[in-house]
Amino acid sequence: MAGPLSGLKVIELQGRGPGPFGTMVMADLGAEVVSVGRVEAVAAADHESPMERMFQGHRRIDLVTRGKRAVALDLKRPEGRAALLRLIERADVLVEGHRPGVAERLGVGPDDCLGINPALVYARITGWGQDGPYASTPGHDINYISLAGPLDHFRRPGQAPMPPLNLLGDYGGGGMLLVVGVLGALFERSRSGRGQVVDTAMVDGVGLLTTLFYGLRAEGLWSDQPGSNILDLGAPHYNVYETSDGRYVSVGAGEPQFYAELLRRLGLEGDLVAEQGDPARWAGTRDRLAALFRTRTRSEWCELLEGTDTCFAPVLNMAEAPAHPHHVARGSFVQVDGVVQPAPAPRFGRTPAGRPGPPVNAGQHTEEVLGDWGFGPDEVGDLLASGTAAQA
């Protein structure tokens, strides 16, 4: 495959959320990713997870599996565990997202895997981490961003918090940080020749993303009152406004020169620029801007403000975003097998990522992968015949 991670061999113990997203990023960048799932998932829909049951009656298009190959093994059988360990012997990275202790009970914990492959990067991704009072309890993105602190600021005064989908915990503080950890461990391995365990906890990652705000708070420049700060819809110059057709636009004119240009184009020149640094006067200015933006449609505001030094952008939905001229010009979205989806990112000048592959189903490549990774035809046949492995 094309991309800067071409040649990297990654095994993923199939899960949900941040782990598969992190390995998708690696696959996008050229890594060979093998997702190891359960044999039951191949044979019976009765074993669908609650998340899968939400989609009953709809064709599943699990894009975070794109570009991977899928193997199905029964890890509760000694033969299944032995087969996985043989794969791990040849791998550079293993990603597992079980609760603490589960991988150890399956016989594929860090000691088991690093014992046979000392150069392995053993990457763990959990919500709460491997230790601490919450470590053994279940949770999801909304819980992690609650405990880490930022969820309280995703609201206007008097309203309940509204989580930013599951982008912050699962993907920003989880999957992306997992990738950073893996790349850091691989760089260190290039000097030492030794692998190590990477412990990624979403609650840690979300906390890390709030570092700037702890600094602002220490300076007295950030209030614990939601909706009163420059970046949480407290400021008139950094806000979202409704338009006359019920759509929305965003302005992010944090610097005085951009705010002055915004006000000039809105016909509000005068002393409002001086008020930008006075939080006590923000509420009145917000009301004035809100009333003004409600006088025109989103398209009319785009005609006036897009492409200007006003830090302006329309608020687009997922149907509109791929068709916006900026995304079209950059190729920010691609279509694979008729499905529109984000293109791989970031971009590389000398080793660009290739076009993403299609999503895969459980056990779709069991025979192919086992053969490619050193199993003989008879061995593969025995694993399939015994039910230790399954081919979709």
Active site residues: 140, 170
In degrees rounded to 5, what are phi and psi of residue 84? -65, -40
C-alpha to C-alpha distance for 385 and 177, rounded to whole angstroms: 40
b (16+ CB within 10 A) / e for 356-389: bbebbebbbbbbebbeebebeeebbeebbeeebb
C-alpha to C-alpha distance for 94 and 12, rounded to whole angstroms: 6
Please count the CA atoms within 13 angstroms of the CA of 173 that sit on its side-chain side. 30
Contact 293, 241 (CB under 8 A): yes
Sequence-ordered alpha helix ranges (H) in the chain: 18-28, 40-43, 50-53, 78-89, 102-106, 110-116, 141-148, 177-192, 202-209, 211-218, 256-266, 282-293, 298-305, 325-330, 366-372, 377-386
C-alpha to C-alpha distance for 117 and 185, rounded to whole angstroms: 15
Residue carrying structure tokens 């030492």: 192
Joined together, the tokens standing for residue 160 give: 């309940």
C-alpha to C-alpha distance for 244 and 295, rounded to whole angstroms: 5
C-alpha to C-alpha distance for 328 and 312, rounded to whole angstroms: 19
Contact 104, 177 (CB under 8 A): no
For 56, other C-beta atoms within 10 Å of its C-beta total: 9
Joined together, the tokens standing for residue 145 give: 């961003």
